Structure 1
């Protein structure tokens, strides 16, 4: 978490405390909705980061194959890399290629530029591949054949991973079903409580309204917590990465907010 992110989280937390505890004439559910949306803005950023990383992982074997092709037809490494700038491999991978090319223009070797990138990049798998390429270059190995081998290996591993995760789709649907089961249960209980208005259990109308308000508040909080963690679990199961669950959490949170504002 960098300084800007820390300032944002602290500011939203302070704002949330003031909004909840100061006597503003705003519905409590609307307050919680505003707070939830402010925190979601922060998590959406990590969703985009995850999607960019996913795009980089998917396009990385294509990048290796294209670089190998240019080397095999006799192009020097700097020229081959420069030609790859005309292709599109996604925002992050394109930036890495541009960085390597710019470093080589300033006089650094491909080995130095690649070593620098492998130390900076946060993707462990790609970082290890880059280090392997550097090791082969250091020992004078055949770079083009290595690139082809690495590209095929990554593709095969990706196919195996996708096949394994696709078998877990039924589990993903089960978690969605459980979430909607909880939501439906809360709705049924809510309408049952509404029908108790004429019951002698409640001596006063204000007592009845207090029970309704308390139930709505507690169930609203529980459903939001359930939505967030259910989404994260779905991401871990379906993609193997908890970050991918942010997407599911956002969907379920918006469903939760919409459900309660319609009640």
Structure 2
């Protein structure tokens, strides 16, 4: 077998299997009344629900609280307790009371970090649920527009044939064989085949209307059928019907073009919301946390709220419902807004992850630079300040970042903003009880610890 013959054989097999698949799909559709929505919407929604349930069952949670606060508090407490134990052991060893024995380090139970990313999983699930249906709706709408235009051309060509003395049935059959009918060619051919097999003109045309599935086409097909049965100058009536249909299609196109400005407005509004949330997360909220909460007496409840995560949820919800509103306003149906919701959610999600969520501190690293291990009198500020350095994920110095400060077990300290070179300098006042104190600087999930040894009270004990 030559190479061209082999290619032709392969092409024949591909076409054969394509026709077999199409036939079985048609049989299933007719027998079980399978609608497109079952595949484009039902299956994706089922998959989305499975994804969310899997996330819940595997321990993922949805929270707006800053869960890193409790983890950091536990780590501070553990570090402080370990420091006290080490100092006590060293002191006892120096006094000769206890001989330090190196004990094997016991294997600690490793706890899984809190998986508070269920909201991210839900966003992926929503996109999986709506993208197939929105794409199918968009494609079907474009196809429907092409079919309506092609049907207006079909009416015009049928009117020309009838001017030449051909009856409507023969006109439809002739057009199905000799004319390029564009998007409605299969529908006209099906109607012509039905007429040749004995179906009436009315039944065949109504079947074509159902297959095209357009309210506009159905309305004009009713006019064509009534004109064919009432008689008179049917050709002129079909011609005027064709012109009227073209006018209606042109008006609809102009209407959609004029309403597209609302799409731009909604997209710009979503961008403005993202920009405002970013400004609040990077400028105003750190200032409130650094100065306002101290003036209000600490504000422990407010300090635990993850404002960035709240902004994230607000933006995604606005994208979802805003897209549906856009579809309702511009195209008259909510289902056509799903494509706008999908686009807005995807763009907003990328913007939030890149700009807003990272502003919460997850992308920062803080390290102790100097001042560790000082001795001080209780109740008095330490002599040399503690200096910490704050950098971003790329190692660049980050000025204007609020750093939370705590001292344990007691003392006076407040959070500060990083300077121009990304450094933070604090002079804490430890409590009056002699012992070891820890100062912890925290930014998001990163923290650094400095130690202070209090040797006596300020009263000179």
Question: Shorter-chain TM-score category?
Answer: 0.7 to 0.9
Structure with the bigger percentage of helix: 1
Larger radius of gyration: 2
Deviations along 1:49-70, one digit per CA (max 9) or x if unpaired, are 2222222233332222233234
Given the alignment, which residue of 225, 233, 242 partners 1:134?
225
Report deviation, 1:152: 0.8
Counting only pairs closer than 5 Å after superposition, residues 1-263 of structure 1 correspond to structure 2 as 3-4=38-39, 5-20=41-56, 22-23=58-59, 27-28=117-118, 30-39=120-129, 40-73=131-164, 76-77=170-171, 78-84=173-179, 86-88=180-182, 90=183, 93-119=184-210, 121-192=212-283, 195=286, 199=290, 201=293, 211-212=305-306, 215-263=307-355
Most deviating of 148-157 and 3-12:
3-12
Note the residue ranges of structure 2 that are not aligned, 5 or more in a row.
Answer: 1-34, 61-114, 356-461
Q: Which has the higher contact order (CA 8 A, sep 6+)?
A: 1
- What is the TM-score with the length of structure 1 in the denominator? 0.78
Paired residue total: 255
Cα distance change, pair 59–226 in 1 and its aligned pair in 2 (3 A):
farther
- CA distance change for structure 1 residues 175 and 26 in 2, over 3 Å: closer, same or farther? closer
Q: Secondary structure at the match of 2:305?
A: helix
**Partners of 2:289 and 2:312 in 1: how far apart?**
25
Measure the CA separation in 2 of the matches of 1:37 and 1:67.
45
Checking the alignment, whether the CA contact within 8 Å between 1:81 and 1:101 is kept in structure 2 is yes
Given that 2:55 and 2:118 are in contact with CA atoms closer than 8 Å, whether structure 1 keeps it comes out as no
- Cα pair 1:100 1:113 within 8 Å, conserved: yes
More strand by share: 2
Q: Taking structure 1 as reference, are residues 11 and 243 closer, same or farther at Cα in structure 2, changes over 3 Å only? A: closer
Assess if the C-alpha contact under 8 Å between 2:323 and 2:338 holds in 1. yes
Summarize the Cα distance change of 1:116–1:161 in structure 2 as closer, same or farther, 3 Å threshold. closer
Indicate how the Cα distance of structure 1 residues 219 and 198 shifts in structure 2: closer, same or farther if over 3 A, else same.
closer
